[in-house]
């Protein structure tokens, strides 16, 4: 097998054979295929696409590059959720313990933030003592004790994806739907869950800007999961405005705890309950305890406390607070018509809540608290948002990111997306 032949096949718009796919993934993982060769292949895939068979076999080859996890020792069914990422998207935090409180086991492997989108592990690491890195045995122990675990993926899970993900990021091939879908699904299938619900974000703060592109990605991932024997469902959800009222690591943990305590912003509660019901249904656990009841009766909060404690965290510890704050005031009276998710996410990133490179630290207390959402009435001079940073010098660039990111008018923008746009199944 030769790398050039594989590149030329896809460059000319032809299908890659099973043997070509298996060889190139294995050879790239071992360093036999060079980065520049895989870059050329990734660009050919971006331009010419892949068939359903090619994507399925590409995904399977990435899974075989590492280990697969096994949860058969658990006394119940496993179910998981993956979000494509957005601004204020803290749903995993209340969702995992909520599903566990209703009878599911949730082995949630999560990642860190990069750019304007936040990362679940960064949020949880703002809790004093909490550990993201667990061995497989430790994951099983936490699952047995709490019913849910949220942690980092081990080095042995789909290592081919780790190499290819970093390459796509610097070669202009991130947008290739076959590569996005196989990247997400290779890790989720290797994780060993029995059922999977995908939250595919749509809008300015998401990777997929339009419902059409999001639906194409969702359909591809649902097909991959189904072909691998994992019951898979996808929801397309809005990310044209931030989710909830908190954007930033510790701020989002605090808001998640409010949801678990029976409060919190209506959109976060609605989406958390909807996704929980989808996860339980996909795992064959519908008809038991309803997630809305588990929020009201405190059982989801009990699971949260056990899960955080089992990973070394102190659920009662005070959360980090930024040293400096400043406010953005309403320029006029009326209704907050728009609040652009990307602008808010970029501002939070510039305040220190995110990172530019993977090795950069984050400021746990940095971020933005929103005091109004699109559709809310506001008065001139009323605070629209509070910016939090450890260094006041960060405010200038954050405020620049917010210029044009919000408007006040007579009504909310009629073009705002519904919270749940569509549902995609096999």
Q: How would residue 117 be classed by pLDDT, with cut points 50, 70 and 90? A: confident
CATH of the domain at 88: 3.40.1030.10
Mean pLDDT for the stretch of residues 10-32? 97
Catalytic residue among 80, 89, 122, 161: 161
Q: Is 256 a catalytic residue?
A: no
Residue 255 placed within a domain: yes
Sheet holding 383-389, edge to edge: 246-247, 367-370, 383-389, 324-329
CA 288, CA 285: separation in Å to the nearest integer? 6
Helix, strand, or coil (residue 128): coil
- Residue 149's DSSP bridge partners are 107
CA 122, CA 85: separation in Å to the nearest integer? 13
pLDDT over threshold 70, residue 424: yes
Residue 221 neighbours by CB under 8 Å, 6+ apart: 181, 184, 185, 198, 200, 232, 234
Q: Do 292 and 254 lie in a common domain?
A: yes
pLDDT over threshold 90, residue 162: no
Which residue range forms the structural domain that includes residue 30? 3-49
Q: Do 239 and 196 lie in a common domain?
A: yes
Q: Vertex 259, ends 153 and 423: CA angle to 5°?
A: 65
Residue 415 placed within a domain: no
Q: Do 90 and 203 lie in a common domain?
A: yes
Q: Do 157 and 268 lie in a common domain?
A: yes
Q: With beta carbons less than 8 A apart as the criterion, state whether 349 and 336 touch.
A: no
Residue 74 placed within a domain: no
Closest by alpha carbon to 285, among 81, 101, 72? 101
What pLDDT does 208 receive? 93
pLDDT over threshold 90, residue 118: no
Q: Do 312 and 335 lie in a common domain?
A: no
pLDDT over threshold 80, residue 291: yes
Q: Is 183 a catalytic residue?
A: yes
Q: Do 137 and 229 lie in a common domain?
A: yes
pLDDT over threshold 90, residue 188: yes
**Percent of the chain having pLDDT more than 90?**
90
Strands 106-110 and 148-152: parallel
CA 127, CA 317: separation in Å to the nearest integer? 7
Compute the chain's Rg from CA coordinates.
22
Q: Do 254 and 330 lie in a common domain?
A: no
Residues 376/380/384/390 CA torsion (nearest 10 deg): -170
pLDDT over threshold 90, residue 361: no
Q: Do 296 and 342 lie in a common domain?
A: no
Catalytic residue among 10, 187, 201, 394: 187
Question: In this predicted model, which residue has the larger pLDDT, 119 or 218?
Answer: 218
Mean pLDDT for the stretch of residues 229-234? 97
Residue 417 placed within a domain: no
Mean pLDDT for the stretch of residues 203-209? 94
CA 394, CA 424: separation in Å to the nearest integer? 41
Q: What pLDDT digit, counting tens, does each position of 28-64 carry?
A: 999 999 999 999 999 999 999 999 999 999 999 999 9
Catalytic residue among 81, 163, 168, 306: 168
CA distances 1 to 17, 24, 66, 209, 333, Å, are 11, 8, 22, 38, 68
CA 131, CA 121: separation in Å to the nearest integer? 9
Residue 306 placed within a domain: yes
Q: Do 207 and 151 lie in a common domain?
A: yes
Quote the pTM value. Answer: 0.94
DSSP designation for 407: E
Q: Do 276 and 360 lie in a common domain?
A: no
CATH of the domain at 23: 1.20.970.10
Question: In this predicted model, which residue has the larger pLDDT, 156 or 303?
Answer: 303
- The domain total for the chain is 3
Q: Is 123 a catalytic residue?
A: no
Residue 73 placed within a domain: no
Mean pLDDT for the stretch of residues 329-336? 98
CATH of the domain at 378: 3.90.1170.30
What pLDDT does 88 receive? 96
Q: Do 144 and 89 lie in a common domain?
A: yes
What pLDDT does 358 receive? 67
Q: Vertex 293, ends 288 and 297: CA angle to 5°?
A: 120
Catalytic residue among 83, 183, 204, 363: 183
Farthest CA pair distance, the chain: 68
Mean pLDDT estimate for the chain: 95
Residue where a domain stops, chosen among 260, 288, 316: 316
Q: Do 336 and 361 lie in a common domain?
A: yes
Residue 419 placed within a domain: no
Q: How would residue 356 be classed by pLDDT, with cut points 50, 70 and 90? A: confident
Catalytic residue among 77, 81, 82, 306: 82
Mean pLDDT for the stretch of residues 168-179? 88
CA 237, CA 86: separation in Å to the nearest integer? 10
What pLDDT does 165 receive? 85
Q: What pLDDT digit, counting tens, does each position of 402-421 carry?
A: 999 999 999 999 999 999 99
Residue 60 placed within a domain: no
pLDDT over threshold 70, residue 102: yes
């Amino acid at each position: 097998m030769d790398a050039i032949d594989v590149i030329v096949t896809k460059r000319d718009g032809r299908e890659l054979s099973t043997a070509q796919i298996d060889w190139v993934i294995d050879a790239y993982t071992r360093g036999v295929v060079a980065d520049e060769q895989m870059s050329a292949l990734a660009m050919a895939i971006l331009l010419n696409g892949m068939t359903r068979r090619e994507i399925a076999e590409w995904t399977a080859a990435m899974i075989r590059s590492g280990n697969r996890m096994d949860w058969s020792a658990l006394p119940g069914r496993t179910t998981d959720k993956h979000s494509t990422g957005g601004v204020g998207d803290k749903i995993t935090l209340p969702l995992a313990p909520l599903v566990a409180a209703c009878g599911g086991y949730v082995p949630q492997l999560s990642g860190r933030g990069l750019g304007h989108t936040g990362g679940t592990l960064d949020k949880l690491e703002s809790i004093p003592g909490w550990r993201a890195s667990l061995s497989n045995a430790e994951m099983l122990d936490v699952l047995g004790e709490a019913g849910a675990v949220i942690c980092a993926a081990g080095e042995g899970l789909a290592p081919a994806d780790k190499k290819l993900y970093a390459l796509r990021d610097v070669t202009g091939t991130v947008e290739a739907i076959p590569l996005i879908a196989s990247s997400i699904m290779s890790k989720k299938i290797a994780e060993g869950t029995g059922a999977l619900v995908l939250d595919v974000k749509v809008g300015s703060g998401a990777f997929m800007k339009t419902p059409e592109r999001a639906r194409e990605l969702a359909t591809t991932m649902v097909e991959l999961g189904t072909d691998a024997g994992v019951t898979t469902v996808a929801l397309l959800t809005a990310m044209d405005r931030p989710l909830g009222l908190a954007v930033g690591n510790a701020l989002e943990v605090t808001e998640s705890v409010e949801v678990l305590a029976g409060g919190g912003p209506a959109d976060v509660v609605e989406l958390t309950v909807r996704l929980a019901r989808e996860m339980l249904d996909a795992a064959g656990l519908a008809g038991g305890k309803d997630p809305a009841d588990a929020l009201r009766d405190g059982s989801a909060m009990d699971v949260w406390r056990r899960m955080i404690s089992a990973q070394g965290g102190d659920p009662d510890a005070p959360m980090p607070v930024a040293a400096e704050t400043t406010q953005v005031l309403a320029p006029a009276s009326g209704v907050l018509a728009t609040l652009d998710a990307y602008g808010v996410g970029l501002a939070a990133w510039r305040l220190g809540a995110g990172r530019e490179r993977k090795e950069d630290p984050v400021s746990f207390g940095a971020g933005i608290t929103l005091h109004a959402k699109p559709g809310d009435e506001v008065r001139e001079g009323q605070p629209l948002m509070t910016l939090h940073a450890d260094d006041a010098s960060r405010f200038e660039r954050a405020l620049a990111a917010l210029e044009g990111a919000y408007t006040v008018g007579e009504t909310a923008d009629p073009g705002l997306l519904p919270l749940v746009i569509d549902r995609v199944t096999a």
